[in-house]
Structure 1
């Protein structure tokens, strides 16, 4: 983006550079106004205070190169005064890096840490890495993991890598595989769940996803990795589509909810796993294969955390 007026707390006029063409205006503003709550971004859009080429637009408007975006005065945090994050969290995330080069960073995200701030959270993985990598001005999440899901998470350090990986994710170039501990005996013959998913918001504001013929197409491939009698099964889940809560809802649909899933799980099963020390959601993005711009491929694996490993060990030795 090109600034045509100084980035003060007054009105800003931004010219859209070619590399931002095709991006939605809401996402463009979230990037341009780092640190400003998303609720405020959508409020100024809804009230018509944001203009493109002097006209009102909707949040889904897709920008074109050369567009002039008018942003009204908003209270921005000082660039040298980010929300201070706990040193322990920053060190933990720094230690979670499994791959890094000039354009891409991949971490083994711990369970319980959100990927971005919002919904009452001041920070997430992306906010933390903007403090850890202050010179990487284009740092953006490539995709997301649920807060309670652990495993491989990609963060682009360059806009060109973000565009490349988004294109790969829209096609079939990215291979993501998860491990999940599920209730009961998963039949070896049950190799896929193909069921459309629909998002809905409850009165509390909580987002839920359910099987609905009117929903979006969703396909997950499953493979049995290990059995624990008829009590539980470790499965590999490979989502072919990338819907919200897809693996969790598809596992439930197959009759085998995931251990520790407070939204879609079986409380009795989760309680028994907790009694073995497993106080987390047992869903982990353990393997990732992505195509690189130079024609090569990056293949990564991430180990499970100590809590997961010890719980499985106890489960295996249980009578």
Structure 2
């Protein structure tokens, strides 16, 4: 059963509400109105501030008079909400950086960056529905579906070109955290091994170290040891091949925990027993030159609850050797 309500609102901005973005203000005031509708009425100019059109990122000033048109809001107890809307809501909470030019997202594990391969939606489709007022929105780079962490999107074509140029020149700094099987050898700090892409019989893509592959280099640094059970490593990409960290970890003989493609399924069962249900690979930081300000931007994404809990359980059952650089994430 649906309950339709119609509302017409005029708001006056009082002290304490200044400097808030208009899109966020309306999202808080218009309960039950989807954020996509709020962006739509802002984009079309239906919302007026002091009788003028404004952008979604307009920051309110004391004395601003906001006129919001008649809105048809649907409130429903219908439990048949689409999975896409659940993803959209999760991604809204996962935005960790945004300005007029870029969006930085802490992508959850299990969500593909784009639709395809049997998926009707992905990060890019969901964010476009969240930002209908944004005329241009494209992925700057990609993350595997099961990998979490920093994902960058461009809101202008010029920004995308500049960021892609940094990718080509390998001037972006991408740092990952990975939990690998066993004790990582202290002397292995660089894996420089070419990767060749293959297609399996189930049409799934995979890479392997092969002399005919593309040059691929990953830097590894031990962050924390858990007896001889596992090692938390920082992996920094010098090149950006598909599944590069996962394949290089396997090549050394220390695959990433719960890696269904490259890992050891028997060994991973132990970690499922302590609550880990996903690949332990997380894009922790991304550093790049901002396409507009030309300043260096560092976006950091914290580990999710499941990964953090896994590390806590390991620390409880083993005596780790701690390192300092990523303590803020652990």
Would you say 1:270 and 2:290 are equivalent positions?
A: no
Structure 1: how far apart are the matches of 2:97 and 2:290?
13
1:135: how far off? 1.5
Query: Which residue of structure 1 aligns with residue 162 of structure 2?
Result: 164
1:149: how far off? 0.1
Query: Which residue of structure 1 aligns with residue 300 of structure 2?
Result: 301
Structure 1: how far apart are the matches of 2:84 and 2:229?
40
Structure 2: how far apart are the matches of 1:178 and 1:260?
16
Post-superposition Cα deviations, 1:149-188, rounded to whole Å, max 9, x if no partner, equal 0000001110000000000011132000000000011122
Give structure 2 stretches of 5+ with no counterpart: 1-81, 319-330
Equivalent pairs, count: 236
Post-superposition Cα deviations, 1:280-300, rounded to whole Å, max 9, x if no partner, equal 000000011011133211001
State how 1:26-175 maps to structure 2 within 5 Å: 86-175=84-173
Structure 1: how far apart are the matches of 2:208 and 2:312?
33
SS of 2:303's equivalent? Answer: coil
Query: Which residue of structure 1 aligns with residue 229 of structure 2?
Result: 231
TM-score scaled by length of structure 2: 0.70
Query: Which residue of structure 1 aligns with residue 18 of structure 2?
Result: none
SS of 1:86's equivalent? Answer: helix
Match of 1:197 among 195, 198, 203: 195
Structure 1: 4+ residue segments shifted above 3 A: none
Instruction: Pick the structure with greater CA Rg.
Output: 2
Post-superposition Cα deviations, 1:32-80, rounded to whole Å, max 9, x if no partner, equal xxxxxxxxxxxxxxxxxxxxxxxxxxxxxxxxxxxxxxxxxxxxxxxxx
Structure 2: how far apart are the matches of 1:155 and 1:85?
22
Q: Is the 8 A contact 1:178 1:285 kept in 2?
A: yes
Post-superposition Cα deviations, 1:254-297, rounded to whole Å, max 9, x if no partner, equal 11000010000011221111111110000000011011133211
Query: Which residue of structure 2 aligns with residue 179 of structure 1?
Result: 177
Structure 2: how far apart are the matches of 1:264 and 1:313?
25
Structure 2: how far apart are the matches of 1:250 and 1:261?
13
1:318: how far off? 1.6
Q: Is the 8 A contact 1:276 1:315 kept in 2?
A: no
Query: Which residue of structure 2 aligns with residue 316 of structure 1?
Result: 315
TM-score scaled by length of structure 1: 0.73
Q: Is the 8 A contact 1:152 1:287 kept in 2?
A: yes
1:309: how far off? 0.5
Q: Is the 8 A contact 2:220 2:234 kept in 1?
A: yes
Root-mean-square deviation (CA), in Å?
1.0
SS of 2:128's equivalent? Answer: helix
SS of 2:302's equivalent? Answer: coil
1:197: how far off? 0.4
Structure 2: how far apart are the matches of 1:142 and 1:273?
33
1:85: how far off? 5.7
Match of 1:207 among 205, 208, 212: 205
Residues 185-194 or 121-130, more deviating: 185-194
Q: Is the 8 A contact 1:276 1:314 kept in 2?
A: yes
